[in-house]
Amino acid sequence: MSSFRSASFVLLLATLLTSCSSSEESVFERLRADYAGDTLRQAAVSFLEKYADSHAGISYQLIDSNGGNAEHVNPLDFSTDTAYLEFLQFHQYHFEKRPLREDREKLTEAFLRENIDLAFDAWRAPWSRAVPFADFCRYILPYRNADEALSDWRKEFKEKYFASITDSVANPKSKIEVALYLMRRLKEEVAYGQKLRSFYPYFLTPEQCRQMHFLECRQLAHYGTLALRACGVPCAMIETHWRFTDIAHTSILIPQLEGDTAAFRLSVYDELQVMGTPKDSMASWRTWRYSYETNPELAAMKHSLPGFSSFYSPVTRIDETPIFSTTHSFSMPVPDSLQAQSYLFLCRMESGKWFGIREGLVSGDSVTFRNATIRQWYRMGYFNGDDVTTFGSTFTLTGDGRVQYYDCSGDTVFFKLVYSCPEEETRTHLSITTQYWGSDNCWHSLNGDAVLWGYNETSGEYKEFDESMRGRFKPVFHLLKVWLPRWTVFYDETMPRPLGFICQDAETGEGYLMQF
């Protein structure tokens, strides 16, 4: 009897120890154990484990003025997104923001298992079967797209559309044809509109997207990216710029994978363009932002530097990718006072503030930056609490990998600035305030009087405009003539970041803008 009790005690103790041990295991460790023998699924779990360490979500709830749920409001009851917005504002409807929660705190084994299994099922489709595993992890597997609240979007979109693809697409082996088919279907659920862009926060769940119905390009790309991934189409949401401008536009990237001839860009659902060609309406020689991959250097810093997560959260890559841009690795000297820093940043200005977008490892008296994009305006900086402190001169990286500094101390050159205007413009003079970066590494206001110019469509002639010319000439722009130092970095307050720098034309002697 005593031996039985002893054996029972040992069995009970072993059970308790096993229970305690398993309770301390992470959901990722348990999933890897459950997927024993399936090396690809185990690798997918490891990918998502790193992904979860870099992502977080914020939930939002549309509520009325009394704090009640306002989901009963149907946007399709309104003729336009403007009317819908006026209704929401009049009744004081708004989105209530909930606290941000790290994914590691809330991911469940059931949620991850369903996401992985559904993603692998979609990967077996004819149009995605040839996608390499690394690209599957990057462009199909992730369980979220940005900082939206977690939801069962993958199951939802797959149940809606997956089965109908083979019956509706002429060549189901073409992921491009499948993507276009899905875009057409998604337009039945949501519509493009800009009036609500300042009302809802980024990013919403698919259910909330349908609730708002009218979405601008960024939210449309977000919605479309989730739908395409759920059906096995590899894609990502990317920020681009209209050609020769800094006007941001968000599109869906269909990446160039093994065996593909090009990458494609889907814009506002039904516009498909081959990226990098002259016909692409976006500035394809520029760089592209992405937020679907962990930045390992920033992730390491997040755990080692106090206050870091409040400045870079989530620690996904938000730097510039070399999809269609040349990159170089280069080294720069480090001041004696900063040689104790582990990392320094390449910093880039946007909306008047410097952000560290690429980190470099400090070694002795130099710092090395890897794969930096050319033709960007940089300044070096270091992490300081919740902010980045910049120092030294500004510079860019030239096409051959050289560092070009902008000290703005050269001779002044004659420069013309053009501001477009509507045809009905009546002001012959316009007070203009712009900004330029001085030799003291600060912004300086540039004030001037811009003169109205008109254009004759018949003769192709431009002239300074006055009202006696109306009919023969139509107003087209205000022209500001200024003298600026050569190599001046120029900034317009209507743009989110500096436009470029002033060069001098060797033949005319006039200044012209070389864009970043």
**Domain ranges, ordered by start, for the chain:** 39-285, 296-403, 412-515
Q: 296-403 — its CATH code? A: 2.60.40
Structure tokens at 455: 């254009």
What is the distance between the alpha carbons of residues 59 and 363, in angstroms, rounded to a whole number?
Answer: 42
- Name 56's Cβ contacts closer than 8 Å, sequence gap at least 6: 100, 101, 102, 103, 147, 313, 314
**pLDDT confidence of residue 244:** 47
Residue 51: name the closest of 121, 131, 115, 98 by CA. Answer: 115
Side chain identity at residue 313, one-letter code: S
Closest CA to 210 of 182, 235, 187, 241: 187
State how far the Cα of 254 lies from the Cα of 24, in Å rounded to an integer.
Answer: 40
pLDDT value of residue 510: 82
Contact (CB, 8 A) for 130 and 174? no
Report the number of secondary-structure helices (H) and strands (E) in the chain: 13, 27
CA 509 to CA 490: how far, in whole Å? 18
Residue 442 burial (CB count, 10 A): 8
* Predicted local distance difference test score (pLDDT) of residue 275: 72
Residue 376: which H helix or E strand, with range?
A: none
pTM of structure: 0.66
Kindly report, residue by residue over 194-211, the tens digit of the pLDDT: 888 888 877 899 999 998
Residue 211 is encoded by which pair of tokens? 């609730």
Strands 378-384 and 511-515: unpaired
The angle subtended at Cα 460 by Cα 454 and Cα 466, nearest 5°, is: 20
CA distances from 152 to 55, 118, 200, 292, 483 (A): 17, 11, 21, 18, 58
pLDDT in the model for residue 222 = 93
Q: Which of 449, 516, 444, 515 is nearest to 482 (CA)?
A: 449
Q: Is residue 175 helix, strand or coil?
A: helix
According to the model, what pLDDT value does residue 293 have? 67
Question: So what's the pLDDT on residue 404?
Answer: 83
Longest dimension (CA), the chain: 117
Q: What is the pLDDT of residue 152?
A: 95
Low-confidence ranges of the chain (pLDDT < 50): 1-23, 244, 283-286, 309-312
pLDDT in tens, 365-407: 999 988 787 777 889 998 776 678 999 988 888 778 888 887 6
Task: Give the model's pLDDT for residue 42.
Answer: 97
Report CA Rg, the chain. 27
Round to whole Å and give the CA distance between 437 and 396.
Answer: 14
Report how far apart the first and last C-alpha atoms of the chain are (Å, whole number).
85
